[in-house]
Structure 1
Amino acid sequence: MVLVALVAIAFCLILSLARVTSLAAPRGGAGSSRVHVVRSGETLWGIARALAPEGDTRVIVARLAGMNQLATTDLVPGQALRLP
């Protein structure tokens, strides 16, 4: 059971690295999004509040999650997020 958990964690880490690498790759075109690299202690909610301090944070969080194909609001330091 422990071995299965370790394999699952390793698989998730590899997928996360692949996602970060693909999101950090330069993209051309006028419609390109900005990229934000998550720092230790940052949350999706905090990033959303900073993007639109007067807006509805829930809407911005949902938009960020959709743009970045996030299954949860948990972030990892070093993770690249596309911003609107």
Structure 2
Amino acid sequence: MSSLSVTPAPVTRLRLTARGRRVIAFLVALPVVVALGLAIVGGGAALASGEGGAPSGSFAEITVMSGETLWSIAEDVAPQADPRDVVAEISRLNALDGGVVAAGQRIAIPSEYLAAP
């Protein structure tokens, strides 16, 4: 009769290769990058919602016509006010950089500057 001898397998530690370390680092960094991206996108949405600007209902929207500028719009909607102040307020309310508007663009006009009929 032959006898079998069973020897226990040696215990080895799990070794992480360089590729495995990169995968783990990526998996750890992925939620951080996603969270930052959502924070940036969410911050832009909060700015666009107008919560930092005028309360809802305190402005009227107009459509910019061909050839109109912020200056001409300011003179039309508030002839009694200083156009510089009106342009500054319209730019702030609409988050316009450089004060440039295009034909067909919808912009908000603060109700305080609307001319009385």
Query: Shorter-chain-normalised TM-score: which range?
Result: 0.5 to 0.7
In the TM superposition, what is the alpha-carbon distance from 1:54 to its structure 2 partner? 1.8
Corresponding pairs, count: 58
For 1:55, the equivalent position in structure 2 comes to 81
SS in 1 for 2:72: helix
1:70 counterpart = 2:96 = yes
Percent same amino acid at aligned positions? 38
TM-score, structure 2 normalization: 0.45
Higher Cα radius of gyration: 2
SS in 1 for 2:62: strand
Query: What CA distance in whole angstroms lies between the structure 1 residues aligned with 2:71 and 2:84?
Result: 8
Residue segments in structure 1 that go unaligned for 5+ positions in a row: 1-21, 24-28
Residue segments in structure 2 that go unaligned for 5+ positions in a row: 1-47, 50-54, 111-117
In the TM superposition, what is the alpha-carbon distance from 1:68 to its structure 2 partner? 0.3
Superimposed CA distance per residue, residues 6-30 of structure 1 (whole angstroms, 9 cap, x where no aligned partner): xxxxxxxxxxxxxxxx89xxxxx97
AA at the equivalent of 1:55: A
Query: What CA distance in whole angstroms lies between the structure 2 residues aligned with 1:77 and 1:59?
Result: 22
SS in 1 for 2:66: coil
For 2:59, the equivalent position in structure 1 comes to 33
Higher relative contact order (CA 8 A, sep 6+): 1
SS in 1 for 2:108: strand
RMSD: 2.2
